Amino acid sequence: MIIDHPLLGPRDSAEFTYLGDASLIHRPDWEAKDAISQFAEYGYQRDNPAGTHRELWFHEQGDRSWLVVTRSTTTHEITQVELARDVARREGRST
Amino acid sequence: MTQVNRLAGGQVDRSKELSFKFDGKSYRGYQGDTLASALLANDVRLMGRSFKYHRPRGPLTSGSEEPNAIVELRSGARQEPNTRATTAELFDGLTAKSQNRWPSLAFDALAINDRLSNFLAAGFYYKTFMWPAVFWEKLYEPIIRKAAGLGSLSLQDDPDSYDKGFRHCDLLVIGSGPSGLMAALTAARAGAEVILADEDFLLGGRLNAETYAIGDEDARDWAAATVAELGAMSNVRIMPRTTVIGAFDHGIYGALERVSDHVAVPADGKPRQILWRIYTKQTILAAGATERPIAFEQNDRPGIMLASAMRAYVNRWAATPAHTVAIFTNNDDGHRTAHDLAAKGVTVAAVIDTRADALKSEHFEVIPGATITNTQGRLGLTVIEVTLSTGQTRSISCGALGVSGGWNPNVHLASHQRGRPTWMPEISAFGPGATLPEGMHAAGAAMGQLSTHGALQSGAAQALVALKAMGKEGARPDPPEAEDAPIRITPFWHVSGAKRAWLDQQNDVTAKDVKLAHQENFRSVEHLKRYTTLGMATDQGKTSNMGGLAIMAELAGKSIPEVGTTIFRPPYTPTAIGAFAGRSAGADFRPIRKTPSHFWAEEQGAVFVEVGMWLRTQWFPRPGETHWRQSVDREVAQTRKSVGICDVTTLGKIDVQGADAATFLNKIYCNPFAKVPIGKVRYGLMLREDGIAMDDGTAARLAEDHFVVTTTTANAVGVYRHMEFVRQCLFPDLDVQLISTTEAWAQFSVAGPNARNLLRKVVDEEHDISNEAFPYMGCGEISVGGVRGRLFRISFSGELAYEIAVPTRYGDALIRKMVAAGEEFDAVVYGTEALGVMRIEKGHAAGNELNGTTTALNLGMGRMVNKKKDSIGSTLSERPGLNEKDALKLVGLKPVDPADPVPAGAHLMTKGTPVDAAHDQGYVTSACFSPNLGCHIAIGYLKSGDARMGEVIRLVSPLTGVDHDVEVVSAHFIDPEGERLRV
């Protein structure tokens, strides 16, 4: 596969390591009343879609960016690649 | 008898005569021959034995789809089994042996299987070797193993090298027949970067095997001229002898280039083969088509081959399999073979056409509406028996038979991304489906365009489509005039009533086997394939799958498209494992990381151990030491008595800088880091988000905004990845930067009562390292002979200890300097074994304890998890399941009888309870012999262990026969108060 890195352009997927669902960005609030169940949900429950999937890839053999890659799990078509940091900020992880 | 079957003409170079050996006998051929064409020219039709019944077989094809003519090529270490004689290029001195026969190809003892065929039908193994189980290992398997398999291995190391390479292009053209050449020409003239790959050594595809004209030229001359034009263009790379073996995601193709297979020994410095990864924007699949046979009684005798192969042998290689031949066909293309052979002076005894409306000929007899119902000739065809339309039979003598059942487009690469082939009724075959791999376009015979004119047209047209897709304009070239015969075929798959009509000749699957599978309810094509092994041999059923499907459809009363087809996976043709390994073999299997003291350690005769990719010193044997324990015990004792030095460079080092560095570490570690003073080191425990311990190490604060974090050797990469995840994905606005500096610093532990005395001789005088100025857990920048360095007062051994770091390039100098400085203290350098012994004596956790199942509570560090802050894993570490009352706790273990060992992996049981999983109390994680205590000791996890000090429990390891009593003690065997650390 080829991942079109937002800073470096197209790179072979062999340069990356894969983590999993991009929902891992949404780490729960540790002070919430039901924090344990929220964290259990966060840590263990994943959707496993046949189709579009947003997932985290780490450019380990490259610039060490974490990326959010939108990929079809059935065709491997990649429709979007973003820096995970940009996604995290946009999705409310800014402090 | 030299080349009695060689005709005039052909594409062989008669000025270059080559000699070769097959089964010990010498023959002669020409440059341009394959092993198969040269053997046929020498009147050798018998080239192998089949897999199961050991039937005598000759070549069925003239290309890479060959199921039968499979030989052992070369000898000695370069011996290569299961090589297709039909693609092996002849070279001077080539040696080949037939395989799967004993004692000789002409007389094979295991041909007895053929007589037993009634008992060896499909599913024979499944049904027979089922019971009793013990017979399998002792009896069945050895017998089957002896009989099974085709070629044999040399059992020597491969002396040749294999490379991997990467190439990029705009357009990859797979196949150099008329459509491929036309596509390459169209794209290249439009300025695209083109790679043209073909598995053959002679470009032109089928054009080399035909006699017709393109424009005013002979087709072969047109091909050569076109290849020459392409070769002269700087934007075209022509790759002959290169098989595109797989179509992968996003326009990535695997291709195997056989660089040196056509020579006896690779030229100096040249690899045998190169596995290319080709990145392309667009692809033209111009892989052509493969002719398929018709199944009839005894259709596997040497001399019976595909009509197109016979035509190729005669036209391209000027080698006829016999001087009198016959043709069996269901379509007009079979007649073309008869024409070409007759034109070359070969006697065509008859063309047997299944169709009543067969073409007529003035040059040979055509028998319309007839079939072949039997053949004769034990080691080679002599007679065919024809059943006429009237029902009468007639025998015809011939030495070879060309069979033509129609053509199957080579759709293999088109379905590597799970694209399903679709049925094309006009050619009675499956063509590429609607969903091709991204950017791929099929052209020519590969898409069912079986005429030369159609191939040229579609090659140009598909190249224009590809050019457009990449935003380039192209001009449609004017394809020259070429034959444009209509396809006239009446499907005919097998002669009914045949008992032994072979479909898959390599795996010996007959029409009868397909019927049996159907009868036993294996009705899906996937089941049919696995039950009968149809199409599962090295040729992957290129010539046999369709026949099986057709018979299956007939039995099920369905059409072929209703039954459907199996799809194809890479590789397209068999590929040597060596090509996939490339240079990653033997000592180069993976990189080796050497520590800064490696060369010094080598000089000392150190024993090394692999730790991940690192080579670390395990111990340093001294003269007179005959057992590793002597060396390790000495290293431990001397360190605790005076001073020891150990290379700890392999531990991960991560530089953490930025205004929010402390805030960040507070997230990473479960214990607090916000208030670590500058110049101090703190032990840190890292949890995974699920509350399980991930790694431990230290963080040294060198400045307000600067920490140096250490990790265990094994987790260095994973911890860094995790820290970047936390930084970028969870807390994107923290002002903090990370970089791995593991390779940047050489780091040594200096431990023991004389550690400071030794370091005083090493560290430059202006740095005060007295206990007052540089107390336990202190850190700071120092210099060594003017070279900048760092000093950390941390201890893994329990002794007064430091870790000293200098830039890696000074590591070798530093170890030598410290060893020299240590002479007066009788300093010792120790390896990983002594390191392990001392940390077990001190009760420090390492990888065995941080094993992915244990928590801070288990490690006895439950109270370190700070509840007043948010850190990774702190919330889930509070899960009830991880906080059971009788949770495992880290304890020390000492044998009651000092002579007993306490092996790691053994389990702990309360005395008097049964030894079973339900009563299990815990397990030993790390064990060693302690020279200081004079007995074996261990640490491990025990239920409620902290409350069971002094209890005598049972240590059991049924696997190794261990069963004795041990006492539960504190894990801190040495200096439990930690006094030595602070002196």
- The pLDDT tens digits of the residues spanning B206-252 come to 999 999 899 999 999 999 999 999 999 999 999 999 999 999 999 99
| Contact between B402 and B331 (Cβ < 8 Å) | no
Q: How far apart are CA B925 and CA B846, in angstroms?
A: 10
| Contact between B556 and B563 (Cβ < 8 Å) | yes
The percentage of chain B sitting over the pLDDT mark of 90, rounded to a whole number, equals 88
Tokens found for residue B273: 């083969």
Lowest-confidence region among A89-93, B101-105, B651-655, B739-743: B101-105
Mean pLDDT value across residues B487-506: 91
The beta-strand segments (E) located in B361-489 are 366-368, 371-376, 383-387, 393-397, 400-404, 407-409, 422-424, 429-431, 440-442
For B468, left (φ over 0), alpha (ψ -120 to 50), or beta? alpha
Residue B525 Cα to chain centre, angstroms: 27
pLDDT score of B731 more than 80:
yes
Angle between the N-to-C axes of helices B832-842 and B628-641, in degrees from 0 to 180, rounded to the nearest 10: 60
pLDDT score of B372 more than 90:
yes
Assess whether the region B13-114 and the region B884-982 belong to the same CATH fold: no
For A65, left (φ over 0), alpha (ψ -120 to 50), or beta? beta
Q: pLDDT at position B166, please?
A: 97
- B592: Cα within 13 Å, side-chain hemisphere: 14
CB of B168 within 8 Å of a chain A CB? The answer is: no
Q: pLDDT at position B741, please?
A: 97
CB of A15 within 8 Å of a chain B CB? The answer is: no
Chain B contact set for A60 (CB, 8 A): 717, 721
Q: pLDDT at position B141, please?
A: 62
pLDDT score of B125 more than 70:
no
Check CB contact under 8 Å for A42 and B730: no
CB of A76 within 8 Å of a chain B CB? The answer is: yes
Among chain B residues, the shortest Cα distance to A87 is held by B729
pLDDT score of B107 more than 90:
no
Q: pLDDT at position B154, please?
A: 87
Q: How far apart are CA B538 and CA B536, in angstroms?
A: 7
Q: How far apart are CA B281 and CA B194, in angstroms?
A: 10
User: Which one of A81, A93, A94 makes the best mutation probe of the B interface by having the most chain B beta carbons within 10 Å?
Assistant: A93
User: Which one of A26, A63, A77, A95 makes the best mutation probe of the B interface by having the most chain B beta carbons within 10 Å?
Assistant: A95
Sheet with B324-329, strands from edge to edge, namely B304-306, B400-404, B324-329, B347-353, B366-368
- The pLDDT tens digits of the residues spanning B268-293 come to 999 999 999 999 999 999 999 999 99
Q: pLDDT at position B104, please?
A: 81
| Contact between B22 and B90 (Cβ < 8 Å) | no
Chain B contact set for A31 (CB, 8 A): 870
- Nearest-5° Cα angle at B875, A25 to B971: 125
Kindly state the DSSP code that residue B640 receives in the 8-state scheme. Answer: H
Tell me whether strands B366-368 and B429-431 are parallel, antiparallel or unpaired: unpaired
For every residue of B364-375, DSSP letters joined together read S-EEET-EEEEE
User: Which one of B164, B440, B875 makes the best mutation probe of the A interface by having the most chain A beta carbons within 10 Å?
Assistant: B875
Chain B contact set for A76 (CB, 8 A): 249-250
Among chain A residues, the shortest Cα distance to B437 is held by A75
CB of A66 within 8 Å of a chain B CB? The answer is: yes
Mean pLDDT value across residues B638-663: 98
CB of A19 within 8 Å of a chain B CB? The answer is: yes
pLDDT score of B472 more than 80:
yes
Chain B contact set for A20 (CB, 8 A): none
Check CB contact under 8 Å for B252 and A1: yes
Question: Which residue is associated with the tokens 């083969």?
Answer: B273
Mean pLDDT value across residues B14-35: 97
Residue B304, classed as helix, strand or coil, is strand
**Exposed e or buried b for every residue in B189-208, given b needs 16+ CB within 10 A?**
bbebbbbbbbbbebbbbbbb
The CATH number that domain B13-114 falls under is 3.10.20.440
Q: How far apart are CA B944 and CA B951, in angstroms?
A: 12
Q: How far apart are CA B73 and CA B86, in angstroms?
A: 12
Q: pLDDT at position B112, please?
A: 75
The percentage of chain B sitting over the pLDDT mark of 70, rounded to a whole number, equals 97
User: Which one of A58, A78, A83, A90 makes the best mutation probe of the B interface by having the most chain B beta carbons within 10 Å?
Assistant: A58
pLDDT score of A44 more than 90:
yes
Compare CB distances from B730 to A27, A39, A83 and report the shortest one's residue: A27
CB of A2 within 8 Å of a chain B CB? The answer is: yes
Q: Provide the total of helices (H) and of strands (E) in chain A, helices listed first.
A: 2, 6
Check CB contact under 8 Å for A88 and B876: no
Chain A contact set for B879 (CB, 8 A): 36, 40
Residue B408, classed as helix, strand or coil, is strand
Residue B192, classed as helix, strand or coil, is coil
Lowest-confidence region among A37-46, B124-133, B262-271: B124-133
pLDDT score of B551 more than 70:
yes
Chain B contact set for A69 (CB, 8 A): none
Domain ranges of chain B: 13-114, 162-289+409-469, 293-405, 599-649+744-830, 652-740, 884-982
| Contact between B491 and B485 (Cβ < 8 Å) | no
- Size of the A and B interface in Cβ pairs below 8 Å: 78
- What topology is assigned to B162-289+409-469 in CATH? FAD/NAD(P)-binding domain (3.50.50)
Alpha carbon distances (Å) from B54 to B104, B108, B302, B379, B392: 11, 7, 13, 12, 33
**Is omega for the bond preceding B132 within 30 degrees of 0, making it cis?**
yes
Q: Which of residues 271-300 of B touch A (CB under 8 A)?
A: 279
Q: pLDDT at position B149, please?
A: 58
Check CB contact under 8 Å for A27 and B876: no
**Domain covering B884-982: architecture:** Beta Barrel (2.40)
CB of B102 within 8 Å of a chain A CB? The answer is: no
Check CB contact under 8 Å for A88 and B732: yes
The beta-strand segments (E) located in B302-453 are 304-306, 324-329, 347-353, 366-368, 371-376, 383-387, 393-397, 400-404, 407-409, 422-424, 429-431, 440-442
* Contacts of B765-773 spanning 24+ positions with Cβ under 8 A: B767/B791, B769/B802, B771/B982, B771/B983
Domain B599-649+744-830 has CATH 3.30.160.160: no
Is ipTM over 0.90? yes
Domain A2-93 has CATH 2.60.120.10: no
Q: pLDDT at position B260, please?
A: 97
Compare CB distances from B732 to A17, A64, A89 and report the shortest one's residue: A89
Q: How far apart are CA B160 and CA B621, in angstroms?
A: 38
pLDDT score of A10 more than 70:
yes
- The pLDDT tens digits of the residues spanning B384-419 come to 999 999 999 999 999 999 999 999 999 999 999 989
Among chain B residues, the shortest Cα distance to A55 is held by B729
Q: pLDDT at position B117, please?
A: 73
Q: How far apart are CA B119 and CA B22, in angstroms?
A: 34
Check CB contact under 8 Å for A36 and B250: no
| Contact between B363 and B376 (Cβ < 8 Å) | no
Closest by CA position to B275, among listed B161, B164, B162: B164
Which residues lie below 8 Å from residue B88, measured CB to CB, with a gap of 6+?
B34, B35, B36, B71, B73, B94, B96, B261
- The pLDDT tens digits of the residues spanning B304-337 come to 999 999 999 999 999 999 999 999 999 999 999 9
Compare CB distances from B724 to A40, A66, A83 and report the shortest one's residue: A66
The CATH number that domain B293-405 falls under is 3.50.50.60
- Superfamily classification of domain B652-740: Aminomethyltransferase beta-barrel domains (3.30.70.1400)
Residue B648, classed as helix, strand or coil, is coil
Alpha carbon distances (Å) from A31 to A78, B616, B871, B875: 37, 45, 12, 9
Q: Where are the alpha helices (DSSP H) in B165-218?
A: 178-189
Tokens found for residue B109: 């003892």
Q: How confident is the model at residue B128 (pLDDT cuts 50, 70, 90)?
A: low
Q: pLDDT at position B129, please?
A: 56
- Give Rg (Cα) of chain A: 14
The overall average pLDDT reported for chain B is 94
Q: How far apart are CA B607 and CA B628, in angstroms?
A: 9
CB of A95 within 8 Å of a chain B CB? The answer is: yes
Closest by CA position to B883, among listed B908, B853, B863, B855: B855
Question: Which residue is associated with the tokens 């425990």?
Answer: B685
CB of B735 within 8 Å of a chain A CB? The answer is: no
CB of A36 within 8 Å of a chain B CB? The answer is: yes
CB of A69 within 8 Å of a chain B CB? The answer is: no
Domain ranges of chain A: 2-93
CB of A32 within 8 Å of a chain B CB? The answer is: no
- The pLDDT tens digits of the residues spanning B823-876 come to 999 999 999 999 999 999 999 999 999 999 999 999 999 999 999 999 999 999
Chain B contact set for A93 (CB, 8 A): 729-733
pLDDT score of B94 more than 70:
yes
Q: pLDDT at position B144, please?
A: 58
pLDDT score of B959 more than 70:
yes
For every residue of B677-741, DSSP letters joined together read PTTBEEEEEEE-TTS-EEEEEEEEEEETTEEEEEE-TTTHHHHHHHHHHIIIII-TTS--EEEE-
Q: Which of residues 212-251 of B touch A (CB under 8 A)?
A: 248-251
Q: What are phi and psi of A59, to 5 degrees?
A: -80, 70
Check CB contact under 8 Å for A39 and B721: no
